[in-house]
Amino acid sequence: MARDIVRGVDTEWVKEVYGIALVPDAVFYLQVSPQELAERNFRKSGMLDYWESGMDIQRSGDMYDCFIRYQRQMQRLFRAMQTTYGFAIIDANQPPQVIAQEVSAHIAQLLGLQPSEFEFTQVR
């Protein structure tokens, strides 16, 4: 939904189109700064993705600048959508183990368990 809305598609139309989707029990938005997200992309694949940079709507020659602007727009929209849909926002600027523990705690709460009863185990 967010990608469509950021690209200028009418919000009400997008809500109607996605209205047939099943409502999940939990949604987690792992929020990370656009600069850190760019760095992670560079470490992972050595480049930025055309679509995740918003190059199709920004039409600027500098993909990094487009990426930062597009991701900021996405973050603003996700924060606005959070008030409507009530999903959890998790600070993903933290170490992976801390992020996993926060997600586990949310899942434990959803299941009515104590966090110690539902712990994330890392698969290698």
**Phi, psi angle pair for 20, to nearest 5°:** -80, -10
State percent of the chain over pLDDT 90: 67
pTM for this prediction: 0.80
What is the DSSP code (8-state) at residue 8?
T
At 91 the pLDDT is 95
- Which sign, positive or negative, has the C-alpha torsion 83, 85, 86, 91? negative
Nearest-angstrom CA–CA distance, 112 and 16: 32
Asked if residue 32 lies in contact with residue 26, where contact means CB atoms within 8 angstroms, the answer is no
Q: Copy the structure tokens of residue 72.
A: 């900021």
- Whether the per-residue pLDDT at 10 is higher than 50: the answer is yes
Q: To the nearest whole number, what is the mean pLDDT of the chain?
A: 89
